Structure 1
Amino acid sequence: MSGATTHHGKPDHSKPGHGGDEDVWTTGGTLFAGVLMLVNGLLGAFAGIAGIAKDDVYTRIGDYVYKFSLTAWGWIHLVLGIVIVVVGWGILKGASWAKATGVALAALGIVAQFLWLPYTPVWAFISIAIGVFVIWALCTDRPDSAGP
């Protein structure tokens, strides 16, 4: 057994950087953020395809200041969804570029979902909450607490 141990032979997790509770939360949060980015990106891409196909899935609720055509929104969500999937995969693989890119894309996704509110209000709020969690998880992860 390597590393510090207690007198009972169990690993000592009381020191920072040695697998304490905070490390478990930040590492687990980063892993979960990567998975959420994959799922959110895929669902965004599907939403984009539905918008491009001019399906009658989406109907605008009320009048809204930020207006784009449904086809334009479809392309925005398709491209953004694909890029978010790629970055989510990079986070899961531990790529050094993926964390900062993930924070930027999550912020961009939050803005896009805010502008998309008239079409899918419930899902937009859920996606905004997912984006906030992703930003928190990626910003609180420390480089030395990354997986094995």
Structure 2
Amino acid sequence: MSNPDTEKQTNAGSERVEPRAPEQRREWAMAHAGAGAGGSRWLAFGGWMLLLAGAFNVIAGLTALFRPDYYVVAGGELLVFGFGAWGWIWLAFGVLQVAAGAGCLGGMRWARITGIGLAGLSAIGHLAFLAAFPLWEFAAIALAVLVMYALVVPDEDAVA
């Protein structure tokens, strides 16, 4: 006896596949999507957020270099260093973060580890830059913490 759900019927030389039962179609529609070709959704999210944080740091670095009057701090000094030094620091961090973010999107392990370290150092740096632009710095610290979390979360297929 054949299964009626998968049985092909011939009708005047053409083949027709019988539709599945409604219960089977619902199971198929409710199935979870996989993470992709050996990738992790968290890793992709972390890579995109790292790219975003890197772009923000590049913008902050360029702003500190070319428009130091944009930031308002008494005496023109920050906790450590001046605006010129911070401009180069943020520019370097931003470029490295963009490169690491692209590596994370490519599934590179070195990029994941580098991204975690850069996000941690970036959070500390934004804490030192807090007096210059408090609201933005709190947002940047939160983004750095989010990046660290996304890159530390284990892959879905990881075994403890």
Superposition TM-score, scaled by structure 2 size: 0.70
SS of alignment partner, residue 143 of structure 2: helix
Alignment-derived partner of residue 104 in structure 2: 91
Superposition TM-score, scaled by structure 1 size: 0.75
How many residues in Structure 1 have an aligned counterpart in Structure 2? 132
Q: Which has the larger radius of gyration?
A: 2
* Of 10, 22, 27, the match for 2:28: 10
* Of 153, 156, 160, the match for 1:140: 153
Deviation at residue 127 of structure 1 after TM alignment:
0.9
The CA RMSD over aligned residues, in Å, is: 3.0
1:30 corresponds to 2:48: no
Runs of 5+ unmatched residues, structure 2: 1-22
Alignment-derived partner of residue 16 in structure 2: none
Q: Structure 1 stretches (4+) deviating beyond 4 angstroms?
A: 11-14, 61-65
Runs of 5+ unmatched residues, structure 1: 1-6
Question: CA contact under 8 A between 1:61 and 1:118: conserved in structure 2?
Answer: no
Identity %: 31
Equivalent residues in 2 for 1:1-148, closer than 5 Å: 8=24, 10=28, 19=34, 27-60=40-73, 66-142=79-155, 144=157
**Larger RCO, structure (CA 8 Å, separation 6 or more):** 1
Question: CA contact under 8 A between 1:91 and 1:98: conserved in structure 2?
Answer: yes
